A and B are shown apart, each in its own frame.
Chain A
Amino acid sequence: MGKILVFVEFNHGQLKRSSLELLSAAQSSGQTVVAAAVGSLAEGISKEASQYGATDIYVIKETTFDKYNPELFTLGLTEIIKKSEASLVLATASALGKDLFPRVAARLDAGILSDCIELKISGDNVTAKRPIYSGKCFSKVTFENCPIKIVLMRPNQLPISVPNASATTNVIAHSVNAPSLRTLIKEVVKGTSEKLDLTEANIIVSGGRGMKEAGNFKFLEQLADVLGATVGASRAVVDAGWVTHDLQVGQTGKTVAPSLYIAVGISGAIQHLAGMSGSKVIVAINTDANAPIFQKATYGIVGDFADVLPKLTEEFKRAMA
């Protein structure tokens, strides 16, 4: 039986939902599960990691690991992976994961599958499913010729198991002897929003040109507040300068996979669909009944945002009460 190392990410002292998904998947494979976390607060999540099956947790507590530095993190993670003797590494296909692990794979001569949406672990046999060609096709893939396998999973794809409150874990502190680095993180400018990033959000309320003007995005924000959702946008309104690029969903923006995607005033250009067709349930609200978005939608309302959104927000408020 192999050993699975889960690289976990955390926020405000709690494991991210996507990391719980990975721990749960690792645990249900029946193999030994260990976790790895980095940063000065990393040890604080060891109890939570243990409740989801991690028997050991490797932590790098150096403050230099509080900010993501690709060079330093590659060094730290390759050392931990080697030390743990894990044959499978799971991480989230987050901004950090997608940047870091391809380099780690290259250094370790490991196989890597990024941006996966399904994962099956059966002994040494690991298969995954990945969207390719902008989500127009799925590829079922497996590993060969590699002792170390790395899988990067998109958030919101795997079930979370019931935590075991009495579990304990063994914390293994690892320190990194960093050589002189050629990469320097000069500044990290926080985003303005306290909401979950689009790529992690479970509900997204997205607006397009049909919102008519930038000021009308407040209707989307009100709806998003009621649902605990994150606001997104189409390329057209980003290019028009109504909202910033970090809100763009679709090709040249973000690829998202929430449980619920509400598209308001978005016609559904193929570039937009490429970024959100992995959503479980899609609601389209558009004045044009022939808009392509209705062909992807689960539910639809033909109507104007100004008539629909205030009523919808009220209705959700009642339903969520």
Chain B
Amino acid sequence: MKFFVCIKQVPDTETKIKVGADQQIDPAGVKWVMNPYDEYAIEEAIKQREKNPGSQVWVVTVGPKARTAEALRTALAMGADEGILIDAPANLEPQITAKALSLVIQQEGGAKVVFTGRLAIDDNASSVSQMLAEFSNFPHTTVVSKFSMDSENVTVEREAEGGQCEVVQMATPAVVAANKGLNMPRYASLPGIMKAKKKVLKEVSIDSLGFSLVAKTKTLALELPAEKPPVKLMSGEISAQVSSLVQLLRDEAKVL
């Protein structure tokens, strides 16, 4: 029995984003990390492996080989068994990434559960999990904060609006997109890190998967947020500050 985890390498949140002359993100100075939500996905897969002796955790990612391998090694250091790198250009649109993932998972004999993060913090699309489920013909649930499994089904809790919680049962194989709260991701252990370094990654070229990579969307331009005028600080006694603030919100900002 295999648990697959799909991960993505993204710029660290603290990274200052610069736009290059070619209208692409300037890669200089970008610190690459595993997408934070994917850590919950890996942790859950490892926990399920511990409960199901003989099962394995396979981690797969899509991205440029030169940098993306590091994210897989992070996952292996956490305790995943195998890593597959689908070598592909950066910034593919979700449909193409999802198609590639679904084909590779199928080639490797399919999965009991495919875990993903609920959102990649770089392109902010929250789409790959659902598309991967569609291409694989699996049911899916996103924004999952609780997970349990028996031989035929998984039962998950999904966070919706206003604190509403949906309890969903899906027949396996199924796709589960992890949210914060699902678990506490473990740190990589030192032996884990040593082992991950030596591990041979399986490499697949996206072109070898035999589907057309025609994009349906096109980026016209990247813009940085406009310079913001400095904050207007209120002054005087607290009562005076409070009254000027409310006046500004009403008359200047017009948000009341």
Contacts and interface: CB of A to CB of B under 8 A. Distances in A.
Interface size on B, as a range, is: 35 or more
B68 to A, nearest CB: 17
Interface residues of A, number: 98
A143 B217 contact: yes
B218 A142 contact: yes
Nearest to B142: A99
B134 A103 contact: yes
Given A132-B122, A144-B215, A302-B233, A189 B165 contact: yes
Given A106-B130, A137-B17, A274-B13, A115 B125 contact: yes
Nearest to A255: B124
Interface in A259-318: 259-260, 270-271, 274, 277, 280-281, 283-284, 289, 294-303, 307-308, 311-312, 315-316
Interface in A77-134: 94-96, 98-100, 102-103, 105-107, 110-115, 127, 129-134
A296 B159 CA distance: 29
A24 interface: no
B225 A138 contact: yes
Interface string A235-263: 00000000011111001110000011000
A144 B216 contact: yes
A183 interface: yes
A135 B225 contact: yes
A320 B246 CA distance: 10
Nearest to A311: B242
Nearest to A230: B162
A298 B232 contact: yes
Interface stretch (B42-50, B75-83, B166-174, B193-201): B166-174
Contacts of B161: 94-95, 191, 197, 199-200
Q: Does more than half of chain A's interface fall in helix, strand or loop, or is it mixed?
A: mixed
A233 to B, nearest CB: 12
B238 A311 contact: yes
A260 B180 contact: no
Nearest to A103: B130
Contacts of B170: 182-184
A308 B237 CA distance: 10
A137 B23 CA distance: 12
A212 interface: no
Interface of B: 11, 13-17, 19, 25, 36-37, 94-95, 98, 121-131, 133-135, 139-143, 145, 155, 159-171, 174, 180-181, 214-225, 228, 231-234, 238-239, 241-243, 245-246, 248-250, 253, 255-256
4 tightest Cβ-Cβ pairs between the two chains A and B: A191-B163, A111-B216, A102-B127, A197-B161
Interface of A: 67-68, 70-71, 74, 94-96, 98-100, 102-103, 105-107, 110-115, 127, 129-146, 181-193, 195-197, 199-200, 203, 227, 244-248, 251-253, 259-260, 270-271, 274, 277, 280-281, 283-284, 289, 294-303, 307-308, 311-312, 315-316, 319-320
